[in-house]
Amino acid sequence: MYKHGENLKLLDEGSIFIADSVVIGKDVTIYERNRIEGNTVIGDGAVILPGNYIVDTVIGRNTTFNQSQSEGASVGDGVCVGPFARLRPGAKILDGAKIGNFVEIKNATVGEGTKVSHLAYVGDADLGGGCNIGCGAIFVNYDGKSKHRTTVGDNCFIGSNCNIIAPVTIENNSYIVAGTTVTDRVLEDDFVIGRVRAERKPGRAHKYLKHFINPKE
């Protein structure tokens, strides 16, 4: 039987599996359809919403998991994970951070209060506190032969659809504009924009559209 503190609430106990090796704090609520295994520790006041798979993960106090998967991760206090997030081995999420829907974290640290809210990949990276990582941002850690690491300072803004190509360092208080590919060191207080300006070609679209649709007469 797993160890647990007082006032543990299991909602629909028949659909919940908790391994004997798991340790659960007090005032924890675990909803239906959860599987919790390995050397997992769940801190006081945590809420495990429906549909998670959690193994070998340390979860801090008052943290919420929602329809997500975590293996070999460490999650601090007051963190929100999910829905549909994946924490892979080596993920370290510090207090007050947010890991949102369809976000994958691998062998990376996410600093205090940093938000990775949706559709992003953070692999082999160290992110400081107070950062915002936009939708579709990718930390490009693999060059086809070797893995490389990225360092991001505190209070940085990385816009949507940015590619951060490791190895690279982004210093504190930097702003990376949406759609930018970063390959070189970014200094403190830098504003970085690296996208091609859109060019409009009037009356040309039909030449390309006709190959895959039937144009209206």
User: What DSSP letter does each residue of 122-185 carry, written as one string?
Assistant: EESEEE-TT-EE-TT-EEE-B-SS-B--EEE-TT-EE-TT-EEESSEEE-TT-EE-TT-EE-S-
pTM assigned to the model: 0.92
Alpha-carbon distance of 8 to 30, in angstroms, equals 8
C-alpha 104: how far from chain center: 5
- Is 4 one of the catalytic residues? no
Residue 210, Cβ neighbours under 10 Å: how many? 10
Alpha-carbon distance of 208 to 66, in angstroms, equals 43
Omega before 167 within 30 of 0, i.e. cis: yes
Q: pLDDT tens across 31-66, in order?
A: 999 999 999 999 999 999 999 999 999 999 999 999
Length of the chain: 217
Alpha-carbon distance of 28 to 92, in angstroms, equals 21
| 216: Cβ contacts below 8 Å, ≥ 6 apart | none
- Cα–Cα nearest to 124, from 103, 110, 145: 110
Q: pLDDT tens across 125-157, in order?
A: 999 999 999 999 999 999 999 999 999 999 999
Alpha-carbon distance of 148 to 145, in angstroms, equals 10
- If you classify domain 3-209 with CATH, what class do you get? mainly beta
Catalytic residue among 4, 118, 148, 211: 118
pLDDT for 145 equals 94
